[in-house]
Chains A and B, each alone.
Chain A
Amino acid sequence: MTSETVLVPINVGSETDRAALFAQLAERAGRGATIVFMTVVPEIYLATDTDPKGTIEAMQEQAGVRLADVAEAAPFKVDRQVVRYGPVAPAILDVAAEIGATLILINARQKGRAVAYALGSVASRVANHAACSVMVLRH
């Protein structure tokens, strides 16, 4: 048995092949690790919205449904699912601290090289600032 808690940020807006990610997680889950899936609804400019909080709530609900779909497809038990709104990397770091994650397992960037170079990637920011170990999976 292990007391490992693995936080797995999932981009529910993309149809990424998660086979490698799930293989890693299945092995850890088999050793008794607690698996926490999370997704972040990135900030959006709601310029004409008179109920931005209601819209954000609806976006979080929808992200929660999509996250549950991903969790259901996983060949192991997902112990907890978390949905946040805001800048992605800080939200991941917040949740990692809240749940006492011992490892963050994250896919490498999916943006084009130029965009990722200009804006940085979520994975690199998480790797730079996390208090726990971070494993970045390349596709």
Chain B
Amino acid sequence: MTNPGNVAAAAQSDDRSTSNWLKFIIPSTLGAALFLMPVPGGDTWTIPFGVMVDWLNGNFGALLKWALVVVTMASAVLTLWYSYGPGKPSTPMMVQYFRTTAVWTGLRCLGAVFTVLYTTGTGPEWIISGATGGTVVGALMTNLLALFALASFGLPLLSDYGFMEFVGALLSKSFHFLFRLPGRSAIDGLASWLGAAALGVMLTVQQYDKGVYTTREAAVVATNFSIVSIPFCYVIAKLVGLSDVFFAYYGCVLIIGFVCALILPRIPPLSRLPDDYKAGTTNHIDATVREGETLVQAGTRLGLARARIAPNFPEFIKNGFDNLVFMWFSLVPATVAIAMIALVLVEYTPVFHWLSAPFVPILNWAGLAEAEAAAPSLVVGFADMYLPALIGKSIESQETRFLVAILSVSQLIYMSEVGAILLRANLGLNVGHLAMIFVIRTIIATPIAIFLAHYVVF
């Protein structure tokens, strides 16, 4: 993704040539159609992206299964070779992909071992059971491989060619009115929604560094609008067997996100953060919408500016391929390991049941079926976004699975990614603050999700 921060400079020169209009309109329309347009899928409605993921899984399931074996094995061997063996990575790309710390090397190797043992059926019961290996290797990872393959080429259509800036500008006044934030926050929020949560956080931090946001505003944007992107929401819904109600599910996620964003900035810890700009910054002007401009004019100007610096077709293909290889070799094996370790702890130890015991009576009181099975999902989301959905996959009650899938993406602060980036960003948020925000989001999201599941969706 080209950095939207560079758009400010590009926006100075107003490129309204036909070729730039086409560069803005064609990819943006394709992206919007791929991820946002409802299409019939089986008995219900889905998005074209979902149809493609299902088609890949349906027709190339076996290939994806063995591709996962090859990817995790290759990743483990090459990481060991270049990080701790005699191999000397000769290119920056090899360094970035295969030289890593002991912890990540260990996780990649574990990921390979788990994948091989599950796929060949030679592992012990605690690895190859449906609740552990079956869920992670058999269901989650094959979906993720397909998702990565499609999203690494599809999402840039939405995020790199001006659509994000156009819609962000249209929403900028609403964001200012509803959330007391600079209009620019709408674009940063959309970067998460249409791109990636981690990238959304980074763009927010960059705006803070430039003096567009105060410390409080940056923290509010990062902790409220770093929504998990649409394709991941689809995978979560599919994982827990709710892809047939994807639109209702995603609508609920948006409603809950909206309510959280109304409440959280007005209460501690966010309300107590200083409303100061970063020291040394002087120009605190949000230039998203200029004086005398309508929202559509501003959106068009920003969209065209973004399109002007967007990658051309060969670069688009190269960037997508680079990202795909990086995801498959660097991230997928570690995801297998982390998810497997968590599920083994859930299935074969009482650790998560101890941690979640206080929530069982509350969920029982709220009338939730299988409260004991759902309770761990309320706490594990702080560690990683996938975990609640993985735990909740085997719950029989559709409403309870719905709650778990909602929490998985609505809790939003997971330390494996967004939390870690927020801590590094020096926005005045510490682990205690993040835990508090996580708990508050869970407290807000749970009753709304139960209510919507009970009275609206099912």
Contacts and interface: CB of A to CB of B under 8 A. Distances in A.
Contacts of B327: 49-50, 52
Contact of A13 (B151, B203, B206, B426): B426
B442 to A, nearest CB: 18
Contacts of B1: 51, 54
B386 interface: yes
Interface in A35-94: 43-59, 61-62, 65-66, 69, 72, 85-87, 90, 94
A18 to B, nearest CB: 15
Given A46-B198, A90-B99, A52 B421 contact: no
A53 B386 contact: no
B323 A51 contact: yes
Q: What 4 A-B pairs are tightest by C-beta distance, nearest first?
A: A54-B1, A58-B202, A50-B151, A49-B196
Given A13-B424, A46-B198, 12 more contacts: A44-B420, A45-B417, A47-B335, A48-B417, A51-B159, A52-B326, A53-B323, A54-B2, A62-B205, A65-B209, A69-B280, A86-B99
Interface residues of A, number: 30
B156 interface: yes
A17 B4 CA distance: 33
Nearest to B103: A119
Interface string B1-23: 11101000000000000000000
A51 B104 contact: no
A52 B331 contact: yes
11 contacts: A13-B424, A45-B331, A46-B331, A47-B335, A48-B197, A49-B327, A51-B196, A55-B198, A62-B425, A86-B95, A90-B99
B152 interface: yes
A120 to B, nearest CB: 9
A106 B384 CA distance: 34
B96 interface: yes
B195 A51 contact: yes
Given A59-B202, A90-B99, A47 B386 contact: yes
A108 B384 CA distance: 31
A45 B231 CA distance: 18
Interface string B139-155: 00000000110011001
A86 B199 contact: no
B416 interface: yes
B170 interface: no
Interface of A: 13, 15, 43-59, 61-62, 65-66, 69, 72, 85-87, 90, 94
Interface-central residue, B417, B421, B424, by most chain A CB under 10 Å: B424
A59 B199 CA distance: 9
Contacts of B322: 53
A98 to B, nearest CB: 11
Interface-central residue, A15, A43, A85, by most chain B CB under 10 Å: A43
Given A54-B199, A55-B202, A87-B100, A47 B417 contact: yes
Contacts of B335: 47
A128 B1 CA distance: 38
Interface in B197-216: 197-199, 202-203, 205-206, 209
A55 B416 contact: no
Nearest to A45: B416
Contact of A47 (B96, B155, B385): B385
A59 to B, nearest CB: 6
A43 B104 contact: yes
Contacts of B76: none
Contact of B3 (A49, A54, A90): A54
Contacts of A56: 96
A65 to B, nearest CB: 5
A54 B319 CA distance: 9
Interface string B398-433: 000000000000000000110011001110000000
B330 interface: yes
B427 to A, nearest CB: 11
B206 A58 contact: yes
A51 B155 contact: yes
A102 B426 CA distance: 32
A50 B148 contact: yes
B421 A44 contact: yes
